[in-house]
Structure 1
Amino acid sequence: MSLTLLRLPILAGLCAALSLAACVGPAPAPATQPAVDASPTPAALPTFTPAVPVTHAGLYVDASLEQGLISPMVYGTNYGPWLFVPLQMQPAVAEANLGVIRYPGGNWGDRNDMDEWNLDQYIALTRQFGAEPYIHVRLLNGTAEKAAEIVRLLNVEKGYNVRYWSIGNEPNLFGDGYEPEQFVREWRQWAEAMRAVDADIILIGPEVNQFYANPTQPHQLELERWMVEFLKANGDMVDVVSFHRYPFPSSQLAGPPSADELRTASAEWDQLIPYVRDLIRQHTGRDIPVAVTEANSSWAASSGGDTTLDSHLNAIWWGDALGRMIRGGAYMVNQFALAGDFGMLTNYDVRPIYHVYQMYKAFGQERLYASSDDPLVSIFASRRADGALVLMVINLAAEAREMALQIDSLDLPATAEVTLFDKDHPAEALTPLQVSEGIRLQLTPESMLLLVLPAP
């Protein structure tokens, strides 16, 4: 994300606004998550669980068909020195259950050097909200030595144990003749210097500003060239392959999308994550986790409209997009951003997109197979550690939907806990629902419905 449309850094009084400790001790042990080893040794490629074709009418779930673990890093966001979380909004952030917070987010980190005070306050913020830190070091007009010194300061001297690191932000936008060949060479130089300080850090890249499945247009093909050159040169060193995605606006002159454009945009994730995986395998000979480290519906600040960043429909779109990324096995997803013009909260209230994270708080740790025959209605299924079956049903349509729900490999009837997010219910618990064979769900317009069925 380019920050040319965003405010300049506002640092004065940030410490008081965050109410953070002046001194920060060593980091606690990270939360349990799917393992990602630093610089993994190439091995035989794993076999992905094949998708099951949609052969069922309505909504379908097979509670016995496991699809893989869900990484808690998919519930991430971005934060930067130009943003702040006021005291009155800190409880709301804590309740969002964020998995990771990327910093400094956007191109601020390639225009400025981070100082020790910035970094200490950021680490304190991640601790306060129970999230993993993830730091992008300066590449443009930076040096490998400065990047390594940040790793030494945080992980050796201060013992913060920051695991996630990336090098540069959206390098394809650096301009002035900066080409992939220079980027991949410098990325490796920075990575080697940083790993020499701490061999256990997890390196994420290349962080291109957009990406497309099956590109055809020149700018789309150019983005793929950046990705491919990076994978060829640094596929042996990178631990998580990343890109950014903002589907709108389609040009500098275009405004927010229409409601129909936004409703159908989330379907691209069903092709995008597998496409990146295929590129990784083709050019590195191994499987590497995939991250979407900046994402929202728009790369341009917008507000006050039916489909702008602060709209209800944008939140429902994001809930569906996030569900599709989870279903596709993404390792990390970072919404842009925690606060500010693109944020999930203002100085005094939360925006609709915040409630998406409240809804996913109850989602499980293991993906299960689920399908829908309606392109505007999605269903995502998971199993929690306590054995509960969790279903997320999302209706992107402007109209109510009534849909049959079939659940195989589960004893019914069962009583489900119900949470609803629509225009009238901001992630509110409703009366429990008796789920039996042949049940038909009533889905309100532009809604997310969460059903939690306890373990037998």
Structure 2
Amino acid sequence: MKRLTLILLSLMILLAACGPAPAPTPVPNALFVDPKTSLGPISPYLFGTNYGPMHAVALEVMPLVESGGFTAFRFPGGAWTDEVDMKPFQIDQLIAFAGQAGAMPTISVRLLDGLPETAADLVRYTNLEKKYGVEYWSIGNEPSIYTQLGQATYDYTTENLNRDWRAIAEAMKAVDPTIKLMGPEIHQWNDSLETTPKDSAGRDYMIEFLKANGDLLDVVTVHRYPMHSPSNGPVTVQQLRENTRKWAGEIAYLRSVMREILGKELPIAITELNSDPSSAQLQEVSPDTFYNAIWYADVLGQLMDADVFMVNQWVLSQRSTGLGLFQGTAVRPSYYVFPLYKNFGSEQVYAASGVADVDIFAAKREDGALTLMVINLLDVEQSLPLQVEGLELTEAEVWRLDATHNAENLGTQAISDGSVTLPAQSATLFIIH
């Protein structure tokens, strides 16, 4: 566990220092990759999800959880965090479950009506008594809407958040100074001061939180469900397609706020992410649909480009909405994004697309293979030139997620005349050995 801690610390320093990758210069009407231009390490924790007592996984799909490539589990996830005091046996269950999946656990303690001594006891049990070595901890879930959702019966402002969070954080750090604190876990981050969450007095939750508690913070966390529009009708494919272009701006704005308030940048985690937070399902592009999976595959690539430290999809399993990767024993399409990226590399290299709504992300693996993730967001098949600097492409191992393949290995395929064919609405992984 000590070795893991050193690795994680080194990774955080690297990610915080290097900042987002430079914007690639596209080759018109082609896909281009330069394997010799390294953009630095890819955080392994981009491929996380949320899991908790309200999100039990059916025994029948446990093999898929174990082989899915999940790298981080946020626990207990959602509003439950602030409704119940977590018990030690639940932490035991988390550690066992995360171990089965090979994922790093992160734990959220109660903020609303939570007691500093209760949070401190959880840290003591987890890391001192049981020696589980859980490094990343957060406090509360979406305090920016406690009042709006009726969780708080009074006006829960930035002042309440800053005071309550700090008292709990200091108690936790007093027990184990080595833990890393994440926050503030606010809802619906966006790309400007005009669009980010405010309290009833108009104070910005993120800005005020960083002013008050930035000295205790290790990772800045936000939630994002960009398609939540209850009054505007069902989401469309075109809206999801256009949304993939907005993530870079939202991350850049968050970094600018950190620089202004803290004088530095901290690692960023999006600890809840899906297209729509509502109970929508069985619609054209609700979270349970195939196109949501293609959107999510592209969003992960965008966040990779932005050097985000951690992403937790919402949610691993849920029976009552379209949000779960699993609904009982049923497997939702977005699950297959994870095993697809499981085969992706760990060192990002330069890649650019000169074709609108076709994106490419590239990385080297430890075994020396070059991996290319190509997302066709369009509704029609694309046949495009693929140029890899210094290589004459003749063949590649192909994995595909599309309407007829669930992240399936299609074997080694020839690349004719340096061009690749991308099915409509697809994510294709090319592995070049």
Match of 1:225 in 2: 204
Q: Percent identity?
A: 40
Q: Which digits, 9 at most, give the CA deviation of each residue in 1:127-154, with x for residues without a partner?
A: 1111111110001001111111110011
Residue 253 (structure 1) aligned with residue 225 (structure 2): no
| Deviation of the 1:190 alpha carbon | 1.2
- Check whether the contact 1:37–1:202 (CA below 8 A) recurs between aligned residues: no
> What is the distance in 2 between the residues matched to 1:259 and 1:171?
31
| Deviation of the 1:238 alpha carbon | 0.7
Q: Which digits, 9 at most, give the CA deviation of each residue in 1:231-263, with x for residues without a partner?
A: 12222211111100001222x334431111112
> What is the distance in 2 between the residues matched to 1:129 and 1:60?
35
**5 Å matches for 1:46-445?**
50-175=22-147, 176-217=154-195, 225-250=204-229, 252-340=230-318, 341=321, 342-408=323-389, 410-435=390-415, 439-445=418-424
Q: Which moved more, 1:182-191 or 1:45-54?
A: 45-54
| Deviation of the 1:117 alpha carbon | 2.1
Residue 35 (structure 1) aligned with residue 15 (structure 2): no
- Check whether the contact 1:355–1:427 (CA below 8 A) recurs between aligned residues: yes
Q: Is the partner of 2:238 in helix, strand or coil? A: helix
- Check whether the contact 2:386–2:420 (CA below 8 A) recurs between aligned residues: yes
1:91 alignment partner AA:
P
| Deviation of the 1:433 alpha carbon | 2.6
2:372 alignment partner AA:
L
Q: Is the partner of 2:330 in helix, strand or coil? A: coil
- Which sections of structure 1, spanning at least 5 residues, go unmatched? 1-26
Q: Is the partner of 2:188 in helix, strand or coil? A: coil
TM-score, normalised relative to structure 1: 0.87
Q: Is the partner of 2:327 in helix, strand or coil? A: coil
Runs ≥4 residues deviating over 2 A: 27-38, 44-57, 214-224, 252-256, 433-436
| Deviation of the 1:72 alpha carbon | 1.1
- Check whether the contact 2:268–2:308 (CA below 8 A) recurs between aligned residues: yes
- Check whether the contact 1:395–1:444 (CA below 8 A) recurs between aligned residues: yes
Q: Which moved more, 1:342-351 or 1:71-80?
A: 342-351
- Check whether the contact 1:249–1:256 (CA below 8 A) recurs between aligned residues: no
Match of 1:9 in 2: none
Q: Is the partner of 1:426 in helix, strand or coil? A: strand
Q: Is the partner of 2:246 in helix, strand or coil? A: helix
| Deviation of the 1:335 alpha carbon | 0.1
Match of 1:10 in 2: none
> What is the distance in 1 between the residues matched to 2:421 and 2:283?
27
> What is the distance in 2 between the residues matched to 1:363 and 1:166?
29
> What is the distance in 2 between the residues matched to 1:450 and 1:132?
25
Change (3 A) 1:367 1:209: same
> What is the distance in 1 between the residues matched to 2:373 and 2:50?
25
- Check whether the contact 2:339–2:407 (CA below 8 A) recurs between aligned residues: yes
TM-score, normalised relative to structure 2: 0.91
Change (3 A) 1:52 1:427: closer
- Which sections of structure 2, spanning at least 5 residues, go unmatched? 148-153
- Check whether the contact 1:364–1:390 (CA below 8 A) recurs between aligned residues: yes
Change (3 A) 1:351 1:28: farther
> What is the distance in 2 between the residues matched to 1:46 and 1:347?
41
> What is the distance in 1 between the residues matched to 2:161 and 2:10?
24
> What is the distance in 2 between the residues matched to 1:66 and 1:138?
41
Q: What RMSD, in angstroms, separates the aligned Cα atoms of the two structures? A: 2.3
Change (3 A) 1:287 1:420: same
Q: Which digits, 9 at most, give the CA deviation of each residue in 1:285-341, with x for residues without a partner?
A: 112101100000001022112201110001100111111111110100000000013
Q: Is the partner of 2:204 in helix, strand or coil? A: helix
| Deviation of the 1:28 alpha carbon | 9.4
| Deviation of the 1:280 alpha carbon | 1.2
